[in-house]
C-alpha cells in the first residue's frame, strides 16, 4: 500500500517522540546500549520509588551525577533540527521526550513535554509540589516551597509511576498526520505504544534510530537507520522541501 501523503500545510500535525539515542552524540549515555547506564546501575535501586525509600543517598548521587553531565552537555544537530522544524512547520507540532536532560530546551524547542520528568526539577514528598532545581540534591535539601527538609526527590518519573502529560499526549497522537520516533529502543511503555496509537489515527509513522528497533518493526512506514545527528537534519530538510511524501 503506497504511503499516505503528508501535506506541508497548517492542517498537518506532527508528533515527535525522542529517547536517549538523540542525546548520545552530546556525550550522554543511553540506557540499554552496550556499556549503557543499566549495565552499570540496577534499575530497582535507582529508578523505582522503592529503591529511593531503601537508599535515598544512593539515588541522589545517581541523579546528581547525571545532572552535572547534562549541565555541561550541548545540543547536537539532531536537537537543533527538531527546534528548526518546530519553528518552520505551518501546522501543529509537539515534541514528547522520554529524556530528562535539558538539551531540547537548549536547542530552542518550545512545544515540548518531558513525559519522564526532568533533572532540572524537584518533587517534594511533603507538600507534593514540583519546581525548578539546580545543583546537587541530598536528604538535607529543603523544599523551596514548604521549607521542609529531607522530603525532596528528583522530579523523575520512576518505573511503576504514571508519566506526565499523558492525556495531552494521547490527544495529540489521536490527531497526528506524521509521527516520528527518534533514538528510542521502544522497550518502555507507554511510550513504546505511541507508534501504534498514531498509526491507528492514520498517521504516517517514521523511525530514525541507529538500528531499526525490533519491537517497532512493521509499525513504521519508514525506518531510517543511522546516527540521529546525521539522519535527523537530512530528514527535516527533505520534509520541509517536500522531497519526502
Ligand atoms: N543516534 C540514533 N539512535 C541512537 C544513537 C544515535 N547516536 N545511539 C544510540 N541510539 C539508539 C539505540 O540503538 C537504542 O535503540 O537509541 C536507543 C536508546 O535506547 P534506550 O537506551 O533503551 O533508551 P530509551 O529508549 O530512551 O529508554 C526509554 O527507559 O530507562 C528508561 O526512563 C528511561 O526514558 C528512558 C526509557
Ligand 1 pocket at CB < 6 A: 19-21, 24-25, 30-33, 36, 98, 116, 183-185, 187-188, 209-211, 213, 227-228
pTM assigned to the model: 0.97
Q: Which residues are annotated as a binding site for NAD(+)?
A: 98-101, 183-185, 209-211, 228
pLDDT: which is higher, 214 or 106: 106
Summarised one tens digit per residue, pLDDT across range 195-217 is 999 999 999 999 999 998 866 76
* 46 pLDDT more than 60: yes
116 counts as catalytic: yes
Summarised one tens digit per residue, pLDDT across range 10-39 is 889 999 999 999 999 999 999 999 999 999
* 117 pLDDT more than 80: yes
Q: CB burial class (10 A; 0-12, 13-18, 19+) of residue 35?
A: exposed
Name the grid cell of 227.
546516527
- Closest atom, ligand 1, to C-alpha of 228: 1
Residue 4 Cα to ligand 1 middle (Å): 28
pLDDT: which is higher, 4 or 205: 205
What does the mean pLDDT of the chain come to?
Answer: 95
- Closest atom, ligand 1, to C-alpha of 18: 26
Question: Please, what are the domains in the chain?
Answer: 1-28+75-116+163-244 (3.40.50.1220), 30-72+119-156 (3.30.1600.10)
Amino acid at each position: 500500500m503506497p504511503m499516505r501523503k503528508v501535506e506541508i500545510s497548517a492542517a498537518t500535525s506532527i508528533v515527535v517522540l525522542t529517547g536517549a539515542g538523540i542525546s548520545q552524540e552530546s556525550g550522554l549515555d543511553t540506557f540499554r546500549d552496550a556499556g549503557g547506564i543499566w549495565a552499570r546501575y540496577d534499575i530497582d535501586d535507582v529508578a523505582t520509588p522503592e529503591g529511593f525509600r531503601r537508599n535515598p543517598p544512593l539515588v541522589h548521587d545517581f541523579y546528581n551525577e547525571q545532572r552535572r553531565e547534562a549541565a555541561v552537555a550541548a545540543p547536537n544537530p539532531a536537537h537543533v533540527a527538531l527546534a528548526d522544524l518546530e519553528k518552520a512547520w505551518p501546522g501543529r507540532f509537539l515534541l514528547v521526550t522520554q529524556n530528562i536532560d535539558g538539551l531540547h530546551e537548549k536547542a530552542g524547542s518550545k512545544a515540548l513535554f518531558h513525559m519522564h520528568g526532568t533533572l532540572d526539577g524537584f518533587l517534594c514528598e511533603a507538600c507534593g509540589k514540583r519546581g525548578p532545581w539546580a545543583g546537587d540534591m541530598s536528604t538535607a535539601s529543603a523544599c523551596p516551597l514548604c521549607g521542609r527538609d529531607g522530603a525532596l526527590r528528583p522530579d523523575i518519573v520512576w518505573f511503576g509511576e504514571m508519566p506526565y502529560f499523558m492525556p495531552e499526549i494521547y490527544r495529540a497522537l489521536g490527531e497526528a498526520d506524521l509521527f516520528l520516533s527518534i533514538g528510542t529502543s521502544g522497550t518502555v511503555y507507554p511510550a513504546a505504544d505511541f507508534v501504534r496509537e498514531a498509526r491507528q489515527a492514520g498517521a504516517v509513522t517514521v523511525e530514525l534510530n541507529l538500528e531499526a528497533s525490533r519491537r517497532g518493526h512493521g509499525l513504521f512506514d519508514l525506518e531510517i537507520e543511522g546516527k540521529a545527528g546525521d539522519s535527523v537534519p537530512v530528514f527535516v530538510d527533505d520534509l520541509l522541501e517536500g522531497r519526502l511524501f
